[in-house]
Structure formats: C-alpha cells, structure tokens
Structure 1
Amino acid sequence: MVANFGFGTLVIILMVLFTAFRILREYERGVVFMLGRFHKVKGPGLILIIPGIQKMVRVDLRTVVMDVPSQDVISRDNVSVKVSAVVYFRVVDPQRAIIQVENFLAATSQFAQTTLRSVLGKHELDEMLAEREKLNMDIQKALDIQTDAWGIKVSNVEIKHVDIDESMIRAIARQAEAERERRAKVIHAEGELQASDKLMQAAQVLSQQTGAMQLRYLQTLTNIATDKSNTIIFPIPMDLVSALTDSLNRNPKKTSE
C-alpha cells in the first residue's frame, strides 16, 4: 500500500515538473504573471513556470501582415471612394502589448481602419491617386504614434486599391483629355512664338544686304522648280518692278520709238 502511494506521488511530481517547463522559440517571449501580478518577460529557450502560482502568455515578435478591409472614404473635394490597405507591424514590448490592451491585434486593426478614413479624408482625389507614397507615410506615422503605448511598432502601410465610381472614372477621363488639349495648344503657341522670333532675326540679317532678298528669291525658285505636279503662283519682288519702272522713266524716247 505504501509502495503504491509512493509510486503515485512520484507520478504526480513528474507530471507537475513536466508541466512546469516551457520551451519558447527564438521569435517568442513569455509574459509571466505571479499571483495575478506581472513578474517578468522570459524567453527564448527553456523556462520554468511554477504551476498554480505563475501563468504565462506567449507573444509572437514576428512582423504581422494585416489587411485593412475596404473603407468608404469621402475626399476633401467630396468624392466617395473605397480604399483598402495593408499594415505591417510587430510587437517590440511584450509587457505593454499584453497589459495595456486586451487584444493588440484587434485594437491595431480597428485603429488602422479609422486612421485610414481620417487621413485620406483630408486629401483630394488627385492626391490619393498620384501621391500614395506620401499618404502611406502619413498613415504610418499616425498609427505608430498611437500604437507606441501598446508596445507595437508600425513599420509600413501600403494603400492597395482605390475604387472609384464608374461615372467619376469617365469624368476623370474627360478632365485628362482636356488637360492634354490644353498642353497641345500651349506647346503650339510656344512654337509659333519661337518661330516668329527666328523669322524676325532672319529678316534683320537679310535687310542688311541689298541683294540678299533677291538671292533668297532665286533660291526659292530653284527649290520649287523640281516640283511640276502643282501650279505655283510666286510673287514678284517690288524691287524688280521699281527698277524696271525707273528705267522706262529715264528713257521715254526709246520706248516711243
């Protein structure tokens, strides 16, 4: 009877010792409470927990990738869009992550959703589409400041998708087309301005020599002489007409004869 009692006691002691030991992986930490009060953070490796007196909560220190569900956002220019994002964060202080908040994963997810709506609501639609990197930084900073009290570090936030209504897509397409037309007109006007400037400089150079215009006239005739498919009317310079008129006025007798 005594032998059976001793064997049973040994078995109980072995079971207690077996349950007292915990093995924590390299990326895990154990937040230990003794009689309900925080004791210390242990791990990684083999640790000892006193059964009935100490309790341990495991905390994963690896980076968590969390999808932020699509949120209805009204931009500053009163455009309704649906925006989804991804948040990257990890626990840097296991003690605060367990003590300061009931469930740090759920708390971070809810706060990421509200922050996404509040930050994007301060910007116009064009900024959401063209300045995503800046918006990612603004959301990440806002999240990091709030979650710092929970022992969580938000390393990055990426906006995944901005869903726009079909009517708004057509309006944006019309706006882009009008912008392209405006740029084309401006470029054409700038080209005309530059061309007029160069023509003015060429006219000044040609006006410095009396025979320059006649030479240019003959060069132009030479260039168009090879093209016989069109009928070309070419103006005669007034210099040639005036020269002939002066010659006739000086010799009226020869013309009468």
Structure 2
Amino acid sequence: MFAFVFVVTLFRSIRIVPNKTALIVERLGKYSRTLEAGFHILLPFFDRVRYKQTLKEQAIDVPAQDCFTGDNVQVRVDGVLYLQVMDAKKASYGIRDYLTATVLLAQTTMRSAVGLLELDATFEAREKINATVVKAVDEASDPWGVKVTRYEIQNIKVSDSIMDAMEVQMKAEREKRAEIARSIGEMETKINLSKAAYEEAVNLSEGQRQRMINEAEGEANEIVAVARATAEGIRKVAAAINAKGGEEAANLRVSEDWVSAVGGIAKSGSKVMLSADLTDLRDMIGKASTMIREK
C-alpha cells in the first residue's frame, strides 16, 4: 500500500508544461519558482502548483455601459480589450483577478474619455479614445505583470430621438455642402469665361498690332526699294551721259519730251502762261543741256 501511494505521488510530481503556459510552484506555502514550457519534476509532499497562467494574448469583451458626452448626451459603448500576461508571478500575486480588474478599469477610462468629447466628435475620435484607454489601463496593469496591447470600440449607440436629430442634421449639412459646391462651380465657370474673353481680346489686339507692324514694315521696305531703284536709275543715266555720244542722246531725249509736253499744254478752252520762248527751240535745248551737265 505504501509503495502504491509512493508511486502515485511520484507520478503526480511530474509536470509537462505546454507552450505559452506558466505554472507557479509553491513550496510549503511560499513561492518557489515558475515553470515554463517543458518537462519538470516537483518535490513530492513539499511542492505544489498554485497558479496556472496563459502567456497568450487574450481578447476580453468589455460589456456595454452608459456614458455621457460633453454635451450631456447619453450613449452606450462597448468594446474589446486585448492583453497578454508578461510576468506570471506578478499576475498571480499582484492582484486577485487581473481580468476583472482590467475590464473595470477599461470601463472607467472609457467613461472619462467619452465625457471629454461632444457627441459628433465621439463618432469621429474612435482612434483617440482607443489610445487613451490603452495608455491608462496599460500603466495601471503594469504592477500586475499584464501588458495591454490594444482596445477597440465595437459599438456606440444613442437613443432613437437622438438618432433622428442626427439624421436631420446630417441631411442639412449635406444640402449645405451641395449648395456650396454649386456656387463654387458657378463662380469658377464665370471666372473661366472672363479669362477666355480676356485672352481673346488680348489675342485680337496682338494680331492687329502685328498686322499694323507688318504693313508699316512693308511700306517702309517698298519706299526703300523705290528709292534704291531711283538712285540706281539716276546713276545709270549719269553714266550714260558721261559716255561717248551720251550728251547728244540726252539732248535728243529732252527735245522729244519738250515737244510732247508743249503739244499737250494748249487744249480747247484753257489758258496757259509760259515764261519760256517756245519759238526758240535751240535756246531751250541748250538750257536743258546745261542743266544736265550741271547735274
């Protein structure tokens, strides 16, 4: 019988600890050591496994609770808290039930965070509220050997009357934004039309100015070309006169022009006064020749 009890006691002294699990061993009622994953043997009759802690990350449901926002609107908020035991000894001896304590602390922090915000901001500041809860609970749970990794708000519920009022407000806000968008579109259309008219006027004036410049340059080039041609013609006439027989040819040309001009002076019904003696053709040709030589 004694041998059977000894064998059973020895068998119960063997402990195989799974992964991500920690066992707290007490010897004669006092903390002895922490058993991590692996094979372990306890001292029979003296060692006892007092606590068993999981080292995995745990998701804890935070029950819904009523909160009041900064503008005194009642909302009902619930969420999920994620935590992990980092020190099995502290989690066993630091507090009696770290799960319940963590949930209660998360609810208290949630009420405080929501109370600082107005109703509209509460829906928009989920990330801010989550960060506030995580920071506060993590700092408070550090002596318990617990690490709070994150907190997520699941639902934010309000009464039906508040929901109807919010829907009316959102509808008015959407209509306001639509009206502003329409007015901005009309303003931009008018601005674009005025810019187009301005650009058109500038282009027309620029075209007219360029046309006038081109016409002026054309007329100037024409005058210069005529002057150059005239000068070239005069130079060629002078060269021809100075050549052999040029003077006699010039006298003949002058005589022909003189006769042609005199023939067209006197017309029927007209009176003409001349200072020259038309009967002395030789004298007139001589004067013309003298003028040509002087040129």
What is the TM-score with the length of structure 2 in the denominator? Answer: 0.64
Q: Who is 1:76 aligned against? A: 70
Query: Which amino acid in structure 1 is aligned with residue 9 of structure 2?
Result: V
Residue 40 (structure 2) pairs with residue 47 (structure 1): yes
What is the one-letter code of the residue matched to 1:113? Answer: Q
Deviation, structure 1 residue 128: 2.3
Measured in 2, the distance between the counterparts of 1:205 and 1:92 equals 73
Between stretches 93-102 and 200-209, larger displacement belongs to: 200-209
Matching residue of 1:183:
177
Q: Distance in 2 between matches of 1:49 and 1:16?
A: 10
Q: 1:201 to 1:12 in 2, by over 3 A?
A: closer
Alpha-carbon distance between aligned partners in 2 of 1:114 and 1:50, rounded to the nearest angstrom: 44
Structure 1 residue 119: Cα displacement: 1.9
Instruction: Give the equivalent residue in structure 1 for 2:92.
Output: 98
Partner of 2:104: 110
Question: In 1, distance between residues paired with 2:13 and 2:196?
Answer: 98
Deviations 1:41-98 (A, max 9, x none): 1122222223442222211112221111111010112110001101111111001001
Tell me which amino acid in the other structure corresponds to 1:22: R
Larger C-alpha radius of gyration, 1 or 2?
2
Among all aligned residue pairs of Structure 1 and Structure 2, give the percentage whose two residues are the same amino acid. 33
User: Is 1:122 paired with 2:123?
Assistant: no
Q: Give the aligned partner of residue 134 of structure 2.
A: 140
Cα deviation, 1:217-243, whole Å, max 9, x if unaligned, reads xxxxxxxxxxxxxxxxxxxxxxxxxxx
- Aligned: 1:38 with 2:31: yes
Q: Do structure 1's residue 28 and structure 2's residue 21 form an aligned pair?
A: yes
What code does the residue aligned with 1:14 have? V
The Cα offsets for residues 133-192 of structure 1, whole Å up to 9 and x where unpaired, read as 232222112211111111111112111111111111111111111111211222222223
How big is the shift at 1:205?
Answer: 5.2
Letter in 2 for 1:155: T
- Which structure 1 segments of 5+ residues have no match? 1-7, 211-257
> Cα distance, 1:100 vs. partner?
0.6
Distance across 1 between alignment mates of 2:189 and 2:101: 65
Match of 2:63, SS state, is: strand
1:193 aligns to 2:194 (yes or no): no
**TM-score, length-scaled by structure 1:** 0.72
- State the distance in 1 between where 2:97 and 2:17 align: 21
Offset at 1:207?
A: 5.7
Alignment match, 2:278: none
DSSP 3-state at the match of 2:70:
coil
Equivalent position SS for 1:139:
helix
Partner amino acid, structure 2, of 1:93: D
One-letter amino acid of the structure 1 residue matched with residue 191 of structure 2: D
Matched letter for residue 18 of structure 1: F
**Larger relative contact order, structure 1 or 2 (CA cutoff 8 Å, min sep 6):** 1
Report whether the alignment pairs 1:157 with 2:151.
yes
Aligned length: 203
1:64 aligned residue: 58
Alpha-carbon shift at residue 206 of structure 1 (Å): 6.0
Q: Once the 2 structures are TM-superposed, how far is the Cα of residue 202 of structure 1 from its aligned partner?
A: 4.3
1:112/1:201 Cα in 2 relative to 1: closer, same or farther (>3 Å)? Answer: closer
Q: Structure 2: which 5+ runs fail to align?
A: 206-295
Does the C-alpha gap of structure 1 residues 202 and 29 become closer, same or farther in structure 2, counting only changes over 3 Å? closer
